[in-house]
Amino acid sequence: MKLFQQAGPRLDNQYHADPYLSALTQTHFSEQQSVIRQLEQMGELAGGELYQLQQADRLNEPVLTQWDPWGERIDQIEVTALWKRAEVLAAEQGLIAIPYEQKLGALSRLHQFALVYLFTPSTDIYSCPLAMTDGAARTLSQSGNQKLIDQALPHLLSRDPAQFWTSGQWMTELPGGSDVGQTETQAHCEAGQWKLHGRKWFTSATTSQMALTLARPEGNPAGGRGLALYYLETRDSAGRLKNIQINRLKDKLGTRKVPTAELMLTGTPAELVGEPQNGVRQISPMLNITRSWNAISAIALMRRGLNLAWDYARKRVAFGAALIDKPLHRETLLQLEAEFAGAFYLSFEMVHLLGQAETEGLNKQQEAYLRLLTPLVKLTTGKQAVAVLSEVLECFGGAGYIEDTGLPVLLRDAQVLPIWEGTTNVLSLDSLRALGSPQQAQETLGYLLEQVPEGQSAALKQTREALGSAGQWLKQTTDAAELERGARRFALTLGRSLQLSALARQAQTMTLGDQLPIDLEDLMQRYAWAPLNQLQRH
Ligand code: MFK
């Protein structure tokens, strides 16, 4: 008897399979066909060689060896084959170098993040060390510290894998992952050399050659302002860690390819990046860059899940028809597609603005907008990624729950996105801080309203109403505890309204091609089915 055999989902060239990215990049890079070719190549790798390697590497994890056979403490971490390949590729493709080389001016960030978006879902969160490396490059290049710029940037920006370095971002300590001002690590200066002593509780990608970290110079006051920003290199020329011990690797729900570690700093030599205080302010360029990477990773993982789910829906037959022809299954996928589309367009608008900020500069209003947009996009897409990928797994029925389909890892990895780089609540409060004084806040909110496209569709009216009501809430809420209590609902109201506004702007000019059975106008209406105004609920 021949038993039924189900065909699994498959991936093709992930650039060609992505009508959103192809339409966006064809518009912006119509004169730069070499960029389109590079995206096509990355799409081919992502759906081909890297995807296969990812499946083959599925059960492997980084290994920490603390001792050599003769009793010497070595603390070596070996990453898996996929990560080794990803590192070489990241350097060769210029995933960090592109926005600093500035070959395409303000479009350089778009070029970079379009590649990152294709690269990310097939490389098991190698985007983590890359995000921190980009953040470190940005922080150092703005620091005015020429010595460190000369020492580190050529490595961070190298396209030669043998020269390429990644950077860590060592912030988290036991007393406060969010409340970084509680950092316990002490710095003292001996004969002109700073040395760090303390415990870093959660350092991602501990294989990096350098790190930016916070520590409190002896005698400095408590709190964030008493911290200073330090640069350190992790190993000496013989490859030995410089007074750093790796206590253990973390046993995490997801991101299991990332060698996240607990470290003891036992007199680690370090250099001040800038002044010996205000370290949180000094590291904030890094935070904003890694938060942008977080958003791109969120949309990239959603896209991967949806591509697999659409492909499966075409193959899987149940109750007499392919799932894609079942009205309810199709509707479920389209609803997820609408969430993705809003997230995609707002994230890439942020990227666009970042590119402009780094080249032409922004006017005051745009600057305030980008400062606000970064936490909003990070927190909104983080939540969406978890929700969408949970649904994606359900689209496969029981198969979505089975590890060797490669599906569950998508949800586990997505779960980190709302947590690291600022939780949803911390970023909601950051959004309020970013809005500044009541007058600046009202100006920025007015600017957001102006950006909503003209038109009287229900979705557009809903967007204007939600933004207007967020502005009203902010004006009326003067009690600090009440502001804090509503901060998440306020931030999500803004995040979702801005996504719908971005989707509506694109719907006016962009078409998706024939890969998806829907157009952007329809997606816009579906996006608006979920309530935009979270402030009305209470
Ligand atoms: C896949 C892609 C992603 C990959 C990521 C991989 C790595 C993951 C590893 C990590 O998770 S690293 C740890 C991440 N941790 C955080 O993101 C910390 C979350 N907590 C916050 O963001 C808090 O809001 C913060 C630590 C900033 C609060 O600290 P403080 O000491 O209370 O700071 P304060 O007084 O609010 O701000 C100090 C200064 O920094 C102020 O400027 P002034 O000194 O001029 O007044 C702030 O305006 C400024 N500042 C703070 N956040 C800023 C900022 N400026 C610009 N942008 C920001 N985001």
Pocket of ligand 1 contains residue 172 by CB under 6 Å: yes
Confidence band (pLDDT; 50, 70, 90) for 532? confident
Beta bridge pairs of residue 317: 322
Ligand 1 atom with minimal separation from the 371 CA: 57
The average pLDDT across 312-339 equals 96
pLDDT of residue 497 exceeding 70 = yes
Residue 245 CA to ligand 1 center (angstroms) comes to: 26
Q: Inform me whether the pLDDT recorded for 359 exceeds 80.
A: yes
The protein residue whose alpha carbon is closest to atom 4 in ligand 1 is 128
Residue 235 DSSP class: B
Q: Is 299 in the pocket of ligand 1 (CB under 6 A)?
A: no
Q: To 5 degrees, how large is the angle CA 126–CA 48–CA 506?
A: 75
Cβ atoms 32, 104 nearer than 8 A = yes
pLDDT in tens, 367-402: 999 999 999 999 999 999 999 999 999 999 999 999
User: What does the block give as tokens for 421?
Assistant: 């780089």
Contact status, residue 224 vs residue 180, Cβ threshold 8 Å: yes
User: In angstroms, what is the span from residue 82 Cα to ligand 1's centroid?
Assistant: 31
Tell me, what's the pLDDT at 537?
A: 56
Residue 179 alpha carbon to ligand 1 centre in Å: 9
Residue-wise pLDDT for 270-290, tens only, equals 999 999 999 999 999 999 999
| pLDDT grade for 529, boundaries at 50, 70 and 90 | confident
- What is the pTM (predicted TM-score) of this model? 0.97
Average pLDDT over residues 345-357: 98
426 CA distance to ligand 1 middle (Å): 9
Closest-lying ligand 1 atom to the alpha carbon of residue 374: 59
CA of 3 to the centre of ligand 1 (A): 57
The answer to whether residue 513 scores a pLDDT higher than 90 is no
Ligand 1 center–CA 287 separation, angstroms = 6
* Ligand 1 closest atom vs CA 420: 11
Say how far apart CA 382 and CA 518 lie, in whole Å: 25
What is the pLDDT averaged over residues 294-315? 98
Long-range contacts of 402-405 (CB under 8 A, 24+ apart): 403/58, 404/58, 405/8
Distance 284 CA to ligand 1 centre (A): 5
Pocket probe for ligand 1: among 284, 369, 386, 423, the residue whose CB has the most ligand atoms within 8 Å is 284
pLDDT in tens, 89-119: 999 999 999 999 999 999 999 999 999 999 9
* Structure confidence at residue 387 (pLDDT): 98
Q: Could you give the CA distance from residue 471 to residue 486 in angstroms, rounded to a whole number?
A: 13
Helix (H) / strand (E) containing 248: strand 244-249
Out of 260, 280, 431, give the residue to mutate to test ligand 1, the one with the largest number of ligand atoms within 8 Å of its CB: 280
Query: Which residue has the least CA distance to atom 40 on ligand 1?
Result: 281
Ligand 1 touching residue 292 (CB < 6 A) = no
Whether the pLDDT of residue 514 is over 90: the answer is no
Q: What's the pLDDT score for residue 273?
A: 98
Rounded CA-CA distance 107/354 in Å is 9
Please tell me whether residue 286 adopts helix, strand or coil conformation.
helix
133 lines ligand 1 (CB under 6 A): no
Cβ 9 under 6 angstroms from ligand 1: no
Beta carbons of 443 and 363 less than 8 angstroms apart: no
Residue 298 reports pLDDT greater than 90: yes
Each residue of 132-167: pLDDT tens digit? Answer: 999 999 999 999 999 999 999 999 999 999 999 999
Q: Which atom of ligand 1 is nearest to the CA of 297?
A: 1
Distance 445 CA to ligand 1 centre (A): 23
415, 298 Cβ separation under 8 angstroms: no
Helices vs. strands in the chain: H and E counts, helices first:
17, 11
Which ligand 1 atom sits nearest the alpha carbon of residue 179? 26
Lowest mean pLDDT among 413-417, 488-492, 526-530: 526-530
Q: What is the pLDDT of residues 217-242, one digit of tens each?
A: 999 999 999 999 999 999 999 999 99
Q: What is the pLDDT of residues 461-471, one digit of tens each?
A: 999 999 999 99
Indicate whether 538 pLDDT > 80: no
In the predicted structure, residue 37 carries a pLDDT above the cut 60: yes
pLDDT at 510 over 80: no
Q: Whose CA is nearest to atom 54 of ligand 1?
A: 284
Assess whether pLDDT exceeds 60 at residue 449. Answer: yes
Distance, in Å, from the CA atom of 418 to the CA atom of 424, rounded to the nearest integer, reads 6
pLDDT at site 534: 84
Mean pLDDT of 303-315: 97
Q: Give the chain's radius of gyration (CA, Å).
A: 23
- Alpha carbon nearest to ligand 1 atom 43, residue: 281
Does ligand 1 have an atom closer than 6 angstroms to the CB of 284?
yes
Say yes or no: CB of residue 405 within 6 Å of ligand 1. Answer: no
Ligand 1 atom showing the smallest separation from residue 223 Cα: 31
Tell whether ligand 1 has an atom less than 6 A from the beta carbon of residue 423: no
Q: Is the CB of 280 under 6 A from ligand 1?
A: yes
Q: Is 180 in the pocket of ligand 1 (CB under 6 A)?
A: yes
Q: What is the DSSP letter of 174?
A: T
Q: How far is the CA of 398 from the centre of ligand 1 (A)?
A: 40
Atom 14 of ligand 1, nearest CA residue: 421
Confidence tier at 516 by pLDDT (50, 70, 90): confident
Mean per-residue pLDDT for 42-48?
A: 98
| Residue 200 bridge partners (DSSP) | 263
CB distance 507 to ligand 1 below 6 Å: no
Q: What is the pLDDT of residues 81-96, one digit of tens each?
A: 999 999 999 999 999 9
The whole-number pLDDT of residue 507 equals: 87
CA of 225 to the centre of ligand 1 (A): 12
**How far is residue 403's CA from residue 401's CA, in Å, rounded to a whole number?**
6
- Per-residue model confidence (pLDDT) at position 531: 81
